[in-house]
Chains A and B, each alone.
Chain A
Amino acid sequence: MATTALHPAAPAVRGGLYEWLTTTDHKKIGILYLINSLVFFAAGGLLAMVVRLELAQPGLQFVDEAFYNQAFTMHASFMLFLFIIPILAGFGNYAVPLQIGAPDMAFPRINALSFWLLPLGGALMASGFLATGGAAASGWTEYPPLSGPTFHGTGTDLWIMGLVLIGTSSILGSINFLVTIFRMRAPGMTLFRMPILTWTVLVTSVLVLMATPVLTSALIMLFIDRNYGGHFFDPANGGNAVLYQNVFWFYSHPAVYIMVLPAMGIISEVLPVFSGKPLFGYKAFVFATVGIGALGFSVWAHHMFTTGQVFLPFFALMTFLIAVPTGVKMFNWIATLWRGKLVFSTPLLFAIGFLTMFLIGGLNGAFSAAVPVDFALHDTYWVVAHLHYVLFGGSVFGVFAGIYYWFPKMTGRMLDETLGKIQFVLMFVGFNMTFFPMHQLGLAGMPRRIADYASTAGWNELNLLATIGGFVIATSMLPFLWNVLVSLRNGKIAGDDPWGANTLEWATSSPPPPYNFDHLPEIRSERPVFDARHGRTAAH
């Protein structure tokens, strides 16, 4: 749709940098989220390279054990709290108001605050590297007593403070999303006409709102234990070390769905557009998303099967059950492609990468749901393989599908397809080379979080293979960076709707004007732009 400049309240013109630092425009904030997340993705990636380099062969070659523990702790902290969660929130920020035909988020200034808490929290966390004793080093889960005052210094306090700020950012963001989605939808945009990405952001926001305060309470208790002689988690003084794990995972398991539901939403935008069909089983898909969100609160203790302090049958049953709505989604996605006319642009490649890899991440999770098998596999490299197939094979492939899909909307220019495909192939091959052998390493008994292993343990070759794969993944980021830098200046002009898409963000210009729309098409289904293009009758 072409637009004319007739904005309700055209903002005063401000200088470039000043505008970006003070903006309350959800689109610019969304882009800031993306940039900030990619910076931490790079930092977390470098730390992963440190870990993989050290594990490439037995013996300590590059770092000592102390730094190794900091490296994997901060790798995970950056990737989870400062890359995956915020970048998905960034896509939500950018796309949700556009998709529901709203001019902005409900609380634009709080939206800006949510964003600016992130670099602040991230910098606090990262500043641990400058503190005496280095950054936090008890793993991203920071289990006490190891994370207590006896064993770790200031870095852990900085980690706690940083994470509390990041959590606050999430909570503010989720309230903003909920109010926006419930109060600011355009006329005709009923709940069951909302794009699936918006639905997943809605469910994710409920998860964030219910779970994140619980994490904050765990962190504050830990902080009191560390600094003011609290004994919440100190068994020598009537505390309980496993209490922390219960409270921590009550957040952090739903957080897994916070990290993957919006990526599923992205896939559910991309697959219909590039197959030329509507999403198969829209309502089933919505119910499955809500089901995952609800069940997600009853499975936290499956991270604690080996503590000897949880009621195993209940959590095993719930963990198995949560596979069902996830399976429903998988079949709906495949049915969306079935008999479609697939256009293999880069977003679709990454979306199909998501399907093939997330499938493995779901199936190898079933092994850990079978409690006795989890006794064998817990805390080995099997779990490292599982979580990377879910979060990298799933979420990160989804993130790149989203970047290639919305980049034209955000910038007005297309990313280069050839470079995109080169990135996909490198990433796909490197990913499997790195993480598939970890199944075998875990089965062979290699525990996670060890800096070194005996050369006689039989783990040498697979570790070397995983390290080479890690470098292939790192290499795959070079064509991506080059692509973004070149396309920003010289990319093909995108036009309003380069993909032949379905949802409202493609009904406005690229990039959209402030306040998004001068004119909205009629909304009579979940594909208003498709309807406008083909006429409503063509759809049925």
Chain B
Amino acid sequence: MSMPSRSRTGAGPLVAGTLIILAIGIAVVVLAIAGLTPGRVFDSFFPVGGQAPVTDRGHATRQLYDVVFYIAATIFLFVEGLIIFTAFRYRKKPGDDELPPQTHGNNLVEVIWTAIPLGIVLFLFLISWQTLNTVDAKAADGGTYVRAVAARFQWKFQYLDGPDGKDAKVVYEQLLPTGEGGGLILPVGEPVHITLSSPDVIHAFYVPKFLFKRDVVPGKLNAFDFTVDTPGTYRGQCAELCGEFHGAMVFEVNALSRGDYDAWFTAAVKKAQQSPPPAPSGGPVASGAPAPSGAPAPSGAPAPSGAPAAQAVQIEARNTAFTQTAVTAPANTPFAIHFKNDDAGIPHNVQVKDASGKVVVNPDVLTGPGETDYQVPALAPGTYPFDCIVHPNMTGTITVQ
């Protein structure tokens, strides 16, 4: 029986190779036009764009990442190079119908390419384990104790008087997860002990610049320690799918110097003691399901007439969204926003900014369900965006005319 005719090799692989190289070339040009430098591209292969982590544990993780990265990159270049070289070098030439050498195997090379990867992965395991012991280590007693409570679409931070447990008392409860005066405010340079609590579903506490996350599991108090070493504001976000508004469940970490932290903490505790505690305060009750609908409010509430002269602008928050995203208000005269929050246990407000992004009013946060009036000073005609300071993804605009 003769060799069956095979499709000719011809220029096929060269054409394909050229096309791929062309596509990569176009991609490179586009990226260059978009302002990417080789340095930035290289940095993008490292956590948070190559920026330094901001906790003691983060540095250990970053070192481990770098080791894994360089080993993986070396293997990638070697093996990928081998594949591409083989593919181009051993193309069948047209008209060559000889059988290639029928090599069935070689035990020596099998042993070699089993042993070398085995050595590499054992090394990686050992350094991972070592780093894990650093990252998971318990910090010394003392410092700041915070219980982070993650309920559906809302972070709050309870500052405790000692290690979390039956006897722990909440000294101050931070309801604002982001923004001015909000967020998880921490001192730098000393141990922080975080415990995680959820009243509903699984969430995850994730701060990219800590190079760390830990699940918030209902029924279990997960704990971890760290020391922030650089003052600053760091973005955090829920990283475990928790429902519709999972993506809006953001928070910030504000790391302050010891002095600033003390000043803030004293003032915050004093303010909390003066003003009556926020309505439904108490532990992690919060949402079951975002209020079956909020029920069209037993109207009659003496709101509309209670406002000053001008008629009130109605804005309502439901299911972590404003039901009115475009409202109008009179120009050059103070007016009131009648704000209704239908979300049980979830705080919202209406923060109004001007076109340049400067905050016009940022009234108190209202934990639902409830309603209130926010006073707004006279505004020049124009368009004013508003959002909820707790949930930056809740947005709308006021047209002042």
Contact = CB atoms under 8 A, between A and B. Distances in A.
Interface of A: 64-66, 69, 137-139, 143, 145-146, 150-151, 235-236, 239-242, 275-278, 280-284, 306-309, 312-313, 316-317, 320-321, 323-324, 327-328, 330-332, 334-335, 337-345, 349, 352, 355-356, 359-360, 363-364, 366-367, 369-373, 375-376, 378-380, 417, 421, 424-425, 428-429, 433, 439-440, 443-445, 447-454, 457-458, 461, 495, 497-500, 532-534, 538-540
A335 B132 CA distance: 37
Range class of the B interface residue count: 35 or more
Nearest to A152: B243
Contacts of B104: 278, 280-282
Nearest to B93: A341
B215 A306 contact: yes
A452 B124 contact: no
Nearest to A377: B47
A339 B250 CA distance: 56
Interface stretch (B79-87, B160-168, B359-367): B79-87
Contact of A146 (B13, B101, B136, B202): B202
Contacts of A371: 128-129, 131-132
Contacts of A440: 44-45
A145 B68 contact: no
The 5 closest A-B pairs by CB, nearest first: A235-B219, A445-B208, A450-B247, A376-B211, A320-B121
B200 A444 contact: no
B247 A453 contact: yes
Given A236-B218, A451-B246, 6 more contacts: A65-B247, A309-B217, A328-B110, A338-B86, A372-B131, A379-B213
A378 B45 contact: no
B3 A352 contact: no
B117 A324 contact: yes
Contacts of A309: 217, 220
Given A320-B124, A447-B238, A275 B208 contact: no
Contact of A349 (B16, B76, B84, B212): B16
Interface stretch (B4-12, B182-190, B266-274, B377-385): B4-12
Contact of B90 (A317, A340, A359, A532): A340
A431 B120 CA distance: 29
11 contacts: A145-B218, A239-B219, A277-B103, A345-B6, A359-B79, A367-B68, A369-B128, A376-B213, A378-B213, A447-B238, A538-B102
B388 to A, nearest CB: 13
A65 B244 contact: yes
Contacts of A533: 1, 3
Given A307-B217, A324-B117, A443 B44 contact: yes
B4 A334 contact: no
A357 B46 CA distance: 21
B35 to A, nearest CB: 9
Nearest to B128: A370
A444 B208 contact: yes
Interface of B: 1, 3-4, 6-7, 9, 12-13, 15-16, 19-20, 23, 27, 34, 44-49, 57, 60-61, 64-65, 68-69, 71-72, 75-76, 79-80, 82-84, 86-87, 90-93, 96, 98-106, 109-110, 113-114, 117-118, 121-122, 124-125, 127-129, 131-132, 134-136, 200-202, 204, 206, 208-209, 211-215, 217-220, 222-223, 235, 237-248, 250, 288-289, 392-393
Nearest to B58: A376
A504 to B, nearest CB: 16
Nearest to B19: A425
A338 B79 CA distance: 13
A272 to B, nearest CB: 10
Contacts of B248: 452
Contact of B113 (A308, A323, A331, A343): A331
A450 B91 contact: no
Contacts of B213: 306, 375-376, 378-379
